[in-house]
Structure 1
Amino acid sequence: MKSFKVFWAFSFIVYHAFFVKVDGAKRLVPALYVFGDSSVDAGNNNNLITHAKANVPPNGIDFNNRATGRFTNGKTFADLIAIKLGLPLQPPYLGISKSERYQEINGINYASGACGILNDSRDGECLSLDKQIEYFTSTVVNDLPKHKHFKSKDKLKHHLSKSIYLISVGSNDYFLNYLKPEIRTYKNMNPEEFADYLLDQLSSKIKTIYNLGARKFVVGTVNQIGCSPNLYCNETINQMVKPCSDKLLMKVQEMEKKFSGSMFVSANGFNFFNKIKNDPKKYGFINIFKSCIQQGLPCTNRKDYYFWDFGHITEAALKIYANECFSGSKMCFPDVKKLAHTHL
């Protein structure tokens, strides 16, 4: 535990030394709050008992050469969106001491690798989506009201309603649950039924965040997990997870109608990989099926690779996705920039 404290004291210094000033960018929203799995985990799993950790090299080789717990070589999708919003990077909730949590008014990252939408989608100890929302509840009820900027309830309400809530989760509900032969809980459901069940569960959990004051959401679910380097594009798996991707837009539009005064962006990582796969050279990729890490060592030409490791993608790929999501494309509808500028 002492080593964790030393690590996080150092991490806190790194965050504030490198990321409090964001290239002079104009701040578009008050804060960004991040929920999800390893696709956006900023280091929460470093403090948990699990082998799903990324706080060792070569992870972070392009993040000031610091393995902070991000499952990639550089910044995550959430990091890149934060920068575009003019915000510093959001620190992991478990990396902030209880006495300092009230000071984090630019947002917090609650995401945890190897967890999913469902509480029983996990590998080892991780923060379930329910647990992440429990921590966010504590942020809203116990921490933020202590800050001098939020002495009135109206100011806190304004902060929460104008901030953005990014949720990237769902792949582990397939990889570590529905597709695992030894898990029988959901085997009576066909892929369409399981997708509906997952999205209904996600909607219920998002409603809790909404009830706490959130109004602007970016939601992404399952990626094309059949095309990870270990599987070499298993289309049987892809077809099993595709319904969740296909139904997401309709589900977020349904939530937007149900949750008065809200706005949702649907982020489609499944289709993003198709776009890259159909013309990799157009986007600067030489290799889109092999992992950049081979025998524990990173490739030197990381911008040529789509995949960083067995299933997570490189910063080069994430930058393309973040750019398209922020400024407008079919990958994210509507775009994050529009979400930021919309007055609800």
Structure 2
Amino acid sequence: MASFKILCVISILTHQLAFLANGMHCRKSLVPALYVFGDSSLDAGNNNNLNTPAKANVFPYGIDFNNCSTGRFNNGKTFADIIAISLGLPMPPPYLGVSEIERYQVATGINYASASCGILNSTGDGSCLSLDKQIEYFTSTVKNDLPRIIQSTTKLRHYLSKSIYLLSIGPNDYMLNYLKNNPMEPNNNLNPEQYANYLIEELASRIKRIYDLGARKFVINSIGPVGCIPAIVIRTPHSEYCNEEINQKVKPYSEKLPGKLHDLQTQLSGSLFINLDSYNFFMKIRNSPQIFGFSNVWDSCIQGAKPCENRKEYYFYDSAHSTEAATKIFAEECFSGTRLCFPYNIKRLVHAH
């Protein structure tokens, strides 16, 4: 089993390095790179290298990823993987999965996302890469690794300004912190409106740090209705329904985020922000699942230790994470559609100044 996992990792890294060997400026990609920050929704294997129960490097995770359990929390690719492919880039490798010797060779983007982490340092289950830590690693990438490939300061600045920065983080600040009354977080006594304001301000301060390093084009995910995930839904003998008490505590964050992103774009010269409205788009799918190809939007595809056979018909793969089929719908819609990402999609972001 251990040797099989090693082969999976080697296969992915070999693909990444082979892509780079063809020349960083000769590929037909839409942007220079995709940099990824977030939690388990985007983690591509960073937590494999940490002391934490939040890992997905065992079967049945990755069953549709060449049957490789790489650390992704679903059956196949993540949202970031699919966006990278759409941009003509290789899938960004996990930062902790690339050796220090090899990191400077990776100029098409890196994934810093870490399962169970959140915006706040007090959020997490065991060891994880807080958003602060992820930005610390990105700082090292910008200041130590990239200059070894892009030696011109002007070219490096251009490279960073044209790349895309994806952030999907925040649900754990509710599920593993606010809703659990984490004693390590003094702001958990705030009401939902106040907590949303606090959390968004904390996120904004970290976005500014990424901006100060040269980032200009951001895609920021909101927080979906966590009261609708299989681990939290309310079940009766004859029906299932979302826990609306929890949803109402989380919803203010998604309602307030677009306004904050607009403010940031006004304040940070040359910046561009896309808001990925996962809350409302998820509810569209929940209300009309058949239109999107789903027959089950309530249950986990994994039953016991086995995945369901009809994975493309399930929205959820485990008790909290979506299937690749659901993820693909979100990724394709955000990349070129009009119903999920605002004020425009990623394809337009690519060509924006």
Q: Same fold (TM over 0.5)?
A: yes
Residue 230 of structure 2: aligned partner: 229
Residue 322 of structure 1: aligned partner: 331
Residue 24 of structure 2: aligned partner: none
Counterpart code for 2:12: V
Residue 340 of structure 1: aligned partner: 350
Quote the Cα distance in structure 2 between the aligned partners of 1:161 and 1:134: 19
CA contact (8 A) 1:15 1:89 kept: no
Shift >3 Å, 4+ stretches: 6-10, 15-21, 181-184
Question: 1:15, CA displacement in angstroms?
Answer: 4.1
Q: Report the CA distance shift for 1:320/1:38 in structure 2 as closer, same or farther (over 3 A).
A: same
Once the two structures are superposed, the pairs formed by residues 70-85 of structure 1 within 5 Å of their partners are 70-85=72-87
Residue 206 of structure 1: aligned partner: 207
CA contact (8 A) 1:19 1:89 kept: no
Q: How many residues align?
A: 337
Q: TM-score, normalised by structure 2?
A: 0.92
> SS at 1:243's partner residue?
helix
Counterpart code for 2:124: R
Q: Report the CA distance shift for 1:19/1:81 in structure 2 as closer, same or farther (over 3 A).
A: farther
Residue 55 of structure 1: aligned partner: 57
Find 1:65's aligned residue among 47, 56, 67.
67
Quote the Cα distance in structure 1 between the aligned partners of 2:123 and 2:57: 22
Counterpart code for 1:185: P
Quote the Cα distance in structure 2 between the aligned partners of 1:335 and 1:8: 37
CA contact (8 A) 1:19 1:88 kept: no
Counterpart code for 2:329: I
Residue 44 of structure 1: aligned partner: 46
Quote the Cα distance in structure 2 between the aligned partners of 1:338 and 1:248: 21
Residue 219 of structure 1: aligned partner: 220
CA contact (8 A) 2:9 2:70 kept: yes
Find 2:11's aligned residue among 9, 13, 18.
13
> SS at 2:205's partner residue?
helix
Quote the Cα distance in structure 2 between the aligned partners of 1:259 and 1:322: 26
Question: 1:342, CA displacement in angstroms?
Answer: 0.9
Question: 1:296, CA displacement in angstroms?
Answer: 1.1
Find 1:266's aligned residue among 275, 282, 285.
275
Counterpart code for 2:127: E
Quote the Cα distance in structure 1 between the aligned partners of 2:70 and 2:126: 20
> SS at 1:120's partner residue?
coil
Quote the Cα distance in structure 1 between the aligned partners of 2:141 and 2:6: 19
Find 1:241's aligned residue among 234, 246, 250.
250
Q: Within the alignment, does 1:152 sit opposite 2:152 as a pair?
A: yes
Counterpart code for 1:266: N
Q: Which runs of 5+ in 2 are unaligned?
A: 20-26, 234-241
Q: Which runs of 5+ in 1 are unaligned?
A: none
CA contact (8 A) 1:20 1:88 kept: no
Once the two structures are superposed, the pairs formed by residues 155-166 of structure 1 within 5 Å of their partners are 155-166=155-166
Question: 1:35, CA displacement in angstroms?
Answer: 0.1
CA RMSD of aligned residues (A): 1.9
Residue 118 of structure 1: aligned partner: 120
Identity %: 59
CA contact (8 A) 2:62 2:70 kept: yes
Once the two structures are superposed, the pairs formed by residues 92-171 of structure 1 within 5 Å of their partners are 92-147=94-149, 150-171=150-171
Question: 1:18, CA displacement in angstroms?
Answer: 8.3
Question: 1:10, CA displacement in angstroms?
Answer: 4.7
Q: TM-score, normalised by structure 1?
A: 0.94
Q: Report the CA distance shift for 1:7/1:293 in structure 2 as closer, same or farther (over 3 A).
A: closer
CA contact (8 A) 2:5 2:68 kept: no
> SS at 2:188's partner residue?
coil
CA contact (8 A) 1:50 1:125 kept: yes
Deviations 1:82-130 (A, max 9, x none): 1111111000000010011000000000000000000001110000000
Q: Report the CA distance shift for 1:20/1:254 in structure 2 as closer, same or farther (over 3 A).
A: farther
Quote the Cα distance in structure 2 between the aligned partners of 1:50 and 1:297: 23
> SS at 2:227's partner residue?
helix
Quote the Cα distance in structure 2 between the aligned partners of 1:108 and 1:178: 30
**Larger mean Cα displacement after TM superposition, 216-225 or 162-171:** 216-225
Quote the Cα distance in structure 2 between the aligned partners of 1:238 and 1:302: 26
CA contact (8 A) 1:229 1:289 kept: yes
> SS at 2:36's partner residue?
strand
